[in-house]
Chain A
Amino acid sequence: MIEIRFHGRGGQGAVVASELLAQAAFLDGKHPQSFPFFGVERRGAPVTAFCRLDDRAVRLRTSITRPDIVVVLEPGLLRAGGVMDGLPPGGLLLVNSRDDPARLPAPPEVRRASVDATAIAVAHGLGTPMLPIVNTAVLGALAAASGAVRLDALERAIDRFVPARPAQNRAAARDGFGAVRLAPAEVAVRAPPVRAGRTLRAGLELPDGPLAVVSSATIATSAWRTMRPEIDLGRCTRCNFCWKFCPDDAIELNAEGYPVVRLEHCKGCGICAVECPPGTIAMVAEG
């Protein structure tokens, strides 16, 4: 059995990638199982998806904590915790990144692979340049780097199950297959990182009730952001729509009544840009 864990952000297609891999593996004669884990169901929040491929019905119905392969749809997620958890020496890390795989921040005993799936997706017009849909390019790279699925099964699955632009998605998968770069494990010395079990004792580590003892203001939803709103105040009519609609209360009004985005809370959902009547808010990609 091969266990693969996908990391992405809500809206990026990690869940679809995992399901598409399952469909492709099924066409390849494997018995797949794929399911997502949602922390918070919001655009931009980290999302994990699990895919198991076996020759017979899978006999486990749990999250994947000891993956053979970790796939990361956005390099920024490598900075978030948990991505490398349980990946053993010799395991494969595949990241959507322009970087040389040898420079990916991973323990040296892990095999690393990178593919610039963003550039491939943009070249094939998948998603928008701001929010490219990278999952088919990444799956092509996964097929090449791991052999977990065959490219032609992947292409057949795309034809059957990707409703939008199947031809472009197939081309992206082929490009990903060809463009993946591999760096072998350097050493095999350290044990996989495992966090020690911790016992929760009521009253000691848990409050009396389900009470978050910190203000929501301390939660850095900005970590989810891939795009940032920029307001052209010269055309702003001070209607306050953006202030009213922002789901994270990330917009404040200054003394003159103009909106000011508090970037530490803005998660980049783009609702303000959609709601602004004169269209003075532009969503621009984060560097």
Chain B
Amino acid sequence: MSRRYEERFKQLGKLGKKAFIPFTLLGWPNREESLKMIKEMIECEASALELGIAFSDPVADGPVIQKAAYETIASGFSVHDAFELITEVRKLDGSIPIGILVYFNTVLAKGIGSFFSLAKESGVDGILIADLPAENAQEVLPAAETNGIDLIFLVSPVTTPNRLDIILSRASGFLYLVSRLGVTGTMERSTAKDLELRALVDKIRKRSRVPVCAGFGISSQADAERMFEIGVDGVITGSRVIQLAQSSSSCSSGVLKQYFKEMVGASARSNRYEHCDS
């Protein structure tokens, strides 16, 4: 298993901080800008990185990420290019945990064994396969173990208790809490629904020590704060990052920097919620 997630969450815990994990698609809008954007994340002290490999049919993604994926594939940016880019990112920071978010067909097309070893060679710590339910984890488990890569799993508000047990028995790195039903995106959230998630987070806490990070529709400081309030260890934001990059001329412009700083700030202030995790 990779130690980077474990160490990073331990560190944050000691400081009484939460994790801010920004997401972007590798190679979007092009190789250079993508690298700049990720560099910005690191410089703004993101806690970990979640990097997507573009897939033609991303059923868990909303319009923003779909469009970016479509553009990335159309530009000819390949899976090989994605791993090369990760290699460069790893050179920038030897200790930040790097997770990749992929769809299963991308893994199968390379072959499960080669995909995981390519990931390891490029410096990846965790792999989340969006359409591989925990029941089928055994298909990739040996490759993950051989290469010391954490398998990150999704948990949703509608996950049943016996499935939660299956997921928790396989999860490492962190657990990705799908914080609302639906696809990725930046639609309005419901405060009432968010607060209902607390019971789920508590249930996970009782059964597992794996850190819980919430994603799907988390865009603002307020969203993040509400998630910290219900006890999660970190937040993941994706569509908002891509939207901001779209609206600014260059990915290294001040807009993104300011956003990353705000979100990192919200995560650092989170020690007021410390009572939530024990």
Q: Tell whether A and B belong to one assembly.
A: no
B interface residues (Cβ-Cβ under 8 A, vs A): none
A interface residues (Cβ-Cβ under 8 A, vs B): none
